[in-house]
């Protein structure tokens, strides 16, 4: 689960990591009152996804009036299919230098890894590709945990003049990471200001398998990921325009590969899992079609426990108007295909055909 920025910053603050003063707003009036109190502010859309700035979800305001105008512009907008319902109104702090600091899991090494870069505020993946010398990585053994020398090396790499404060931030960020069962704890940018170092942004992803022992509320309640989880399914948003609904994680990954092979980009990973019923299929279609970028949907079902006729009922009852390509095989396949043929649905026999047709349909609707 990805926490909203304001929730992540509340946690950072509890651990002693410096963050800007900020307040949450749900309407333009509140945004204006907060700006009146803080002065020059930044309004940040609170949605559980990245790319807010590029989508116009982060704006500055120097006074109450501008804050209200900008709040009206951001509230209600859609960012990657997510509607903005909350704003973080934060004091504007001009950085002298921006850096990156994050801790995540290196699955190949089977341990946490801390990453730092002298270039912050940009995609760390792009920095790694174009300027790898600007990134420092260090693995953290899960039994011995973070050593002092590791924090010191990272701090020196980032800023030799601020070693003491950066070491303190690194150690606290590691505590945030471990004590909250994070898969990612990130500060981007970590900014050098006239008053020292401060986390201008905060990102925390929590391991879904550890949610039972954490007290986080479902802030992402209205997101596709949360809705899918509550309905016994898995959803991960991606950047493409071909929606995918598949049963089984392995088949889902293979389907994404085939979409890529035929020149398309998947809009999501969606595993409805074994035994999906009509209502789950309807929910899955509603979630996938809610993404305004989706031009076509590929449904790839290998029916074992999952019954093809049950899937067909869900598709027919969904009322989704986006073009759907369906591959059904397995239990009750004949009945399921017959039902779909009666409603003039696009049916194919193989995963390859499904991917090729879905990509072609997606391209034709651009």
* Catalytic residue list: 100, 186
Measured from the Cβ of residue 113, the count of other Cβ atoms closer than 10 Å reads 16
CB 115 within 8 A of CB 124: yes
Question: Which residues are 22's β-sheet partners?
Answer: 90
b/e map 81-96, b = 16+ CB within 10 Å: bbebebbbbbbebebe
Select from 194, 175, 207, 26 the least CA-distant residue to 105. 207
Cα–Cα distance, 186 to 203 (Å, whole number)? 5
Question: Which residues are 190's β-sheet partners?
Answer: 99, 199
* C-alpha gyration radius of the chain: 23
From residue 218, how far is each of 236, 237, 334 by CA, in Å?
16, 17, 41
CB 81 within 8 A of CB 291: yes
Q: Tell me which DSSP letter residue 19 carries.
A: -
Cα–Cα distance, 131 to 98 (Å, whole number)? 16
Cα–Cα distance, 17 to 11 (Å, whole number)? 9
Cα–Cα distance, 261 to 189 (Å, whole number)? 36
What region does 263 belong to: left with phi over 0, alpha with psi -120 to 50, or beta? left
The residue count of the chain comes to 366
Select from 290, 319, 124, 296 the least CA-distant residue to 203. 124
């Amino acid at each position: 689960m990805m926490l909203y920025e304001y929730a992540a910053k509340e946690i950072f603050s509890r651990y002693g990591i410096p963050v800007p003063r900020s307040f949450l707003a749900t309407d333009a009036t509140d945004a204006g009152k907060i700006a009146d109190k803080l002065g020059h502010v930044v309004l940040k859309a609170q949605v559980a996804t990245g790319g807010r700035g590029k989508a116009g979800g982060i704006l500055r305001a120097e006074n109450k009036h501008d804050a209200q105008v900008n709040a009206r512009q951001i509230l209600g907008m859609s960012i990657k299919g997510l509607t903005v319902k909350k704003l973080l109104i934060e004091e504007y702090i001009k950085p002298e230098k921006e850096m990156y600091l994050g801790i995540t899991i290196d699955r190949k090494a089977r341990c946490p890894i801390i990453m730092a870069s002298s270039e912050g505020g940009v995609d760390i993946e792009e920095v790694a590709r174009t300027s790898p010398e600007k990134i420092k990585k260090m693995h953290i053994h899960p039994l011995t945990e973070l050593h002092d020398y590791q924090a010191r090396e990272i701090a020196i790499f980032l800023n030799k003049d601020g070693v003491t404060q950066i070491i303190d931030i690194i150690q606290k960020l590691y505590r945030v990471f471990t004590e909250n069962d994070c898969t990612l704890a990130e500060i981007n940018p970590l900014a050098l200001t006239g008053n020292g170092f401060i986390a201008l942004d905060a990102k925390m992803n929590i391991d879904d398998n550890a949610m039972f022992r954490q007290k986080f509320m479902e802030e992402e309640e209205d997101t596709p990921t949360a809705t899918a989880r509550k309905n016994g399914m898995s959803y991960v948003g991606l950047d493409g325009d071909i929606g995918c609904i598949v049963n089984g994680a392995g088949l889902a990954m293979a389907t994404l590969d085939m979409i890529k092979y035929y020149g398309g980009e998947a809009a999501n990973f969606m595993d409805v899992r074994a035994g999906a019923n009509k209502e789950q299929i309807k929910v899955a279609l509603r979630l996938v079609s809610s993404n305004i970028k989706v031009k076509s949907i590929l449904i790839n079902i290998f029916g074992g426990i999952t019954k093809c006729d049950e899937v067909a009922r869900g598709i027919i009852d969904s009322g989704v108007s986006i073009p759907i390509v369906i591959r059904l095989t397995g239990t009750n396949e004949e009945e399921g295909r017959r039902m779909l043929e009666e409603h003039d649905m696009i049916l194919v026999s193989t995963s390859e055909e499904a991917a090729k047709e879905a990509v072609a349909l997606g391209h034709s609707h651009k």
